[in-house]
Amino acid sequence: MKNYNNKEAQKNMWETLSVSNQRNDYFRDACKADEVPEGSMKHVEVDGREILIAKVDGKFYAIADRCGHMNALLSMGHLEAAKNKVTCGFHGAQFDIITGQKLKEPRLTPPEGMDPLPEKLSEFVYKMMNPIRTYDQERYEVKVEDNMVKVK
């Protein structure tokens, strides 16, 4: 365990915090613009953050790629570009691709066409999943320069 009682350790701690806060003060390269066709999504990692880049109506948007419900990758879900919404492929939670706002809670029943779970397992899963909250997705600023999508 670090000892932050001495001046040197406190200085190091504040320098570390300062550097981690600075990464959000400027745009970072995320991907090439031509890697994201119209109406599609791409998973990228920037400074340890998993980000979903989407292109809708010629504009790029970026939100956190880990679902605010159970941490699945939203970029593996379904994008409805006409409605600016992404649906998580795991439990069906939906988010606005522009604002990151949660639009629909996840479903707690098996998807259509899937065999139902055994009754006791279904009761257990419902009991465990019911109190899980779904949060809005973090949104990132986006700009494009020289065919490079950048996020901040």
Q: What is the pLDDT of residues 119-151, one digit of tens each?
A: 998 888 888 878 888 999 999 999 999 999 999
Which residues face 8 on adjacent strands? none
Residue 1 forms part of a structural domain = no
Supply the DSSP string of 102-133, one letter for each residue: EEEPPP-SPPTTSPPPPHHHHHHHHHHHTT--
Residue 60 forms part of a structural domain = yes
The string of pLDDT tens digits covering residues 17-66 is 444 445 557 999 999 999 999 999 999 999 999 999 999 999 999 999 99
Residue 44 forms part of a structural domain = yes
Residue 109 above 90 pLDDT?
Answer: no
Number of domains in the chain: 1
Residue 115 forms part of a structural domain = no
Residue 36 forms part of a structural domain = yes
Q: What is the domain range of residue 72? A: 27-107+133-151
Residue 15 forms part of a structural domain = no
pTM, two decimal places? 0.77
CATH, residue 66: 2.102.10.10
Residue 37 forms part of a structural domain = yes
Which residues face 149 on adjacent strands? 31, 144
